[in-house]
Chain A
Amino acid sequence: MPEKSAGGLAEAQPLDQIKHNPRPGGTLYRGREGMWSWVLHRITGVGIFFFLLVHILDTALVRLSPEAYNAVMSAYKTPIMGLGEVGLVGAIGFHALNGLRIILVDFWSVGTRHQRLLFWLVLGLWVVLMLGFVPRHLMNVFGA
């Protein structure tokens, strides 16, 4: 007979005590690569979604008039938006690479075993991607 029965668990941790315990046992996510990849995938996904809504609307202006489309596109060419585009491409790059990692975890027989290594691989490839994109884009934006 174990010392604590299943019912004893609730007795050992009254409700007010659980509230003050920031990390009770048994939570599914405990930080580390698995949780942070999930958090970043969510945040980048939401960001990209709202950009996509705006992007469809601004592109729709080509149907209105050349002047209207060119006016809104000039906003994308300002330095501040140029930096925003670095953030956008960074978000898309992470979401794409981590999405491929999710597919490997789902379908590759040893994907789950190596999910942590795959996360660092995603970050490494993301750095390479950004090293290729950012200097070129900033040259275009700031006209070097």
Chain B
Amino acid sequence: MTVSIESPRTLPQRRGVNWEKWGWIYMRASGVILVVLIFGHLFVNLMVGDGVHAIDFAFVAGKWADPFWIVWDTLLLFLALIHGANGMRTIINDYAQKPSTRRVLSGALAGATVILLILGALVIFTFDPCPAGSPADLLPKFCGDIN
């Protein structure tokens, strides 16, 4: 008995950017950076001094008076939220069976991600450490020198 085997199917020609590959690379590259950024964030905010009790408006204003923490927190915002959103995209694609469900969930995820990235960036870069009319005891000490 002779068996004839069809010639193997050739892979379809790929065009353009392989986004899934870059997503895979992004998860690992951003992950390594996020380990440093988040552990640093947690150490400074929860371990040093009075920990969580020290966090208030003046604490944040004091940090964002230093460009170092503006860069740190901006990187955190973008790297972490995109890392998280891409992870959620993976989970949606794993569990959403119907294409319509997948579209709705992916759309909501993309919308929430873009809105929060814009909101977060605006908050960091339009932040006013000494808003007019606020009680002085809620503001960082350096506001007394300005107002």
Which positions in A face B, CB cutoff 8 Å? 42, 45-46, 48-49, 52-53, 56-57, 59-60, 62-63, 65-67, 69-70, 73, 76-77, 82, 85, 89, 92, 96, 99-100, 102-103, 106-107, 133, 136-137, 139-141, 143
Contact = CB atoms under 8 A, between A and B. Distances in A.
Contacts of A52: 80-81, 84
Top 9 nearest A-B pairs (CB, nearest first) are A140-B51, A66-B57, A49-B84, A66-B138, A99-B31, A63-B123, A96-B35, A60-B123, A69-B57
B132 to A, nearest CB: 11
A86 to B, nearest CB: 10
9 contacts: A46-B87, A46-B88, A52-B84, A59-B120, A62-B60, A73-B55, A77-B55, A103-B32, A136-B51
Given A45-B84, A76-B55, 17 more contacts: A46-B87, A48-B84, A49-B88, A52-B80, A53-B116, A56-B120, A62-B123, A65-B134, A66-B134, A66-B135, A73-B56, A96-B34, A103-B28, A136-B51, A137-B52, A141-B51, A141-B53
A100 B116 contact: no
Interface of B: 28, 31-32, 34-35, 38-39, 42, 46-47, 50-53, 55-58, 60-61, 77, 80-81, 84-85, 87-88, 91, 112, 116, 119-120, 122-123, 126-128, 131, 134-135, 138-139
